[in-house]
Amino acid sequence: MTLFWACFLWICAAAGAALLPPRHRYIPGLSLMLAAPVLLGGVVARTGWLPGALALCAFLSISRAPLCTLLKQMRGSEPELGR
Protein backbone atom coordinates (compact mmCIF):
# COMPACT_ATOMS: atom_id res chain seq x y z
CA MET A 1 0.00 0.00 0.00
CA THR A 2 2.93 2.33 0.61
CA LEU A 3 4.01 2.00 -3.03
CA PHE A 4 0.52 3.04 -4.12
CA TRP A 5 0.68 6.20 -2.01
CA ALA A 6 4.20 6.99 -3.19
CA CYS A 7 3.06 6.74 -6.81
CA PHE A 8 -0.04 8.78 -6.04
CA LEU A 9 2.04 11.52 -4.41
CA TRP A 10 4.44 11.48 -7.37
CA ILE A 11 1.52 12.06 -9.76
CA CYS A 12 0.16 14.88 -7.59
CA ALA A 13 3.62 16.47 -7.39
CA ALA A 14 4.03 16.19 -11.18
CA ALA A 15 0.67 17.89 -11.69
CA GLY A 16 1.68 20.62 -9.25
CA ALA A 17 5.04 21.11 -10.96
CA ALA A 18 3.27 21.44 -14.31
CA LEU A 19 1.29 24.36 -12.92
CA LEU A 20 4.44 26.29 -12.03
CA PRO A 21 5.81 28.97 -14.36
CA PRO A 22 8.48 27.56 -16.71
CA ARG A 23 11.38 29.27 -14.95
CA HIS A 24 10.40 27.62 -11.63
CA ARG A 25 9.81 24.10 -12.98
CA TYR A 26 13.43 23.00 -13.28
CA ILE A 27 14.19 21.81 -9.72
CA PRO A 28 10.83 20.12 -9.01
CA GLY A 29 10.87 18.53 -12.45
CA LEU A 30 14.42 17.27 -12.03
CA SER A 31 13.64 15.77 -8.63
CA LEU A 32 10.56 14.05 -10.06
CA MET A 33 12.58 12.69 -12.99
CA LEU A 34 15.17 11.29 -10.56
CA ALA A 35 12.50 9.73 -8.33
CA ALA A 36 10.69 8.02 -11.21
CA PRO A 37 13.15 5.11 -11.75
CA VAL A 38 12.95 4.26 -8.04
CA LEU A 39 9.16 4.13 -8.19
CA LEU A 40 9.19 2.18 -11.45
CA GLY A 41 11.61 -0.32 -9.91
CA GLY A 42 9.27 -0.69 -6.95
CA VAL A 43 6.31 -1.29 -9.24
CA VAL A 44 8.22 -3.98 -11.15
CA ALA A 45 9.46 -5.63 -7.95
CA ARG A 46 6.03 -5.63 -6.30
CA THR A 47 3.67 -6.37 -9.18
CA GLY A 48 5.69 -7.86 -12.03
CA TRP A 49 6.94 -6.79 -15.42
CA LEU A 50 3.60 -6.14 -17.15
CA PRO A 51 2.34 -3.50 -14.68
CA GLY A 52 5.89 -2.15 -14.63
CA ALA A 53 5.86 -1.79 -18.41
CA LEU A 54 2.49 -0.02 -18.21
CA ALA A 55 3.87 2.31 -15.53
CA LEU A 56 6.91 3.01 -17.73
CA CYS A 57 4.63 3.87 -20.66
CA ALA A 58 2.65 6.21 -18.40
CA PHE A 59 5.85 7.87 -17.18
CA LEU A 60 7.15 8.33 -20.72
CA SER A 61 3.81 9.79 -21.76
CA ILE A 62 3.76 12.26 -18.87
CA SER A 63 7.37 13.36 -19.30
CA ARG A 64 7.53 13.31 -23.11
CA ALA A 65 8.43 17.00 -23.57
CA PRO A 66 11.27 17.11 -20.99
CA LEU A 67 12.75 13.88 -22.31
CA CYS A 68 12.65 15.16 -25.92
CA THR A 69 14.37 18.38 -24.83
CA LEU A 70 17.03 16.39 -22.96
CA LEU A 71 17.67 14.21 -26.00
CA LYS A 72 17.99 17.27 -28.24
CA GLN A 73 20.45 18.86 -25.83
CA MET A 74 22.49 15.65 -25.68
CA ARG A 75 22.65 15.53 -29.49
CA GLY A 76 23.87 19.12 -29.56
CA SER A 77 20.91 20.61 -31.42
CA GLU A 78 19.07 23.65 -30.13
CA PRO A 79 15.80 22.66 -28.36
CA GLU A 80 12.64 24.61 -29.09
CA LEU A 81 11.63 26.79 -26.16
CA GLY A 82 8.06 27.27 -25.06
CA ARG A 83 6.95 23.77 -25.86
Provide the pLDDT for residue 74. Answer: 86
What are the b/e assignments for 55-64, b being 16+ CB within 10 Å?
bbeebeebbe
Count of residues in the chain: 83
Nearest to 64, CA basis, from 20, 13, 14? 14
Domain residue spans in the chain?
Answer: 2-74
Q: In whole angstroms, give the CA distance from residue 69 to residue 3.
A: 29
Provide the pLDDT for residue 70. Answer: 80
For residue 39, the one-letter residue type is L
Spatial contact of 52 and 44, defined as CB atoms under 8 Å apart: yes
How does pLDDT run along the chain (83 residues), one tens digit per residue? 799 999 999 999 999 998 999 889 888 988 999 999 999 999 999 999 999 999 999 888 888 877 887 888 888 877 666 55
